[in-house]
Amino acid sequence: MAKVKTRLSVQEQSYLRMGLNQPGGKLPLFDGGGQEIKSKTILSCVEKGYAERWFANPLKPEWLVCRLTHSGRNAVQA
C-alpha cells in the first residue's frame, strides 16, 4: 500500500511533535492531560507514513504503540 503524504491536521501535528524528544521517536498513547490519543489521529498518521506501528502490546492489544518515521520527524520539524 502506497503512503499518501498530505497536509497534517493540528491534532496530527501535536501528536507527532510529542515523539520528537522520546527515545526511538516513541509516540504517546495519552496526551499531557491524561486523555487517550484518538485512534483516528494515530491511524491517519500511520496511513500518511509519518508514524509506524512499533510493536503490539500483549496486555492491551487495542493500543496502537507507534513511533515517528523519518518523514514524520521532517514534517513536524519543517
Please tell me the pTM assigned to this model.
0.86
Residues 6+ apart with CB under 8 A from 53: 46, 64, 65, 66
pLDDT-derived band of residue 63, with 50, 70 and 90 as boundaries? confident
pLDDT at site 59:
87
| Residue-level pLDDT at 1 | 45
**Closest to 2 in 3D by CA, of 59, 51, 48:** 48
What does the pLDDT look like over 26-54, one tens digit per residue? Answer: 999 999 999 999 999 999 999 999 999 99
Helix or strand holding residue 1 (H, E): none
Q: Is the pLDDT confidence value at 17 over 60?
A: yes
Residue owning grid cell 503512503: 3
Q: And the C-alpha cell for 2? A: 502506497
Confidence of residue 3 (pLDDT cuts 50, 70, 90): low
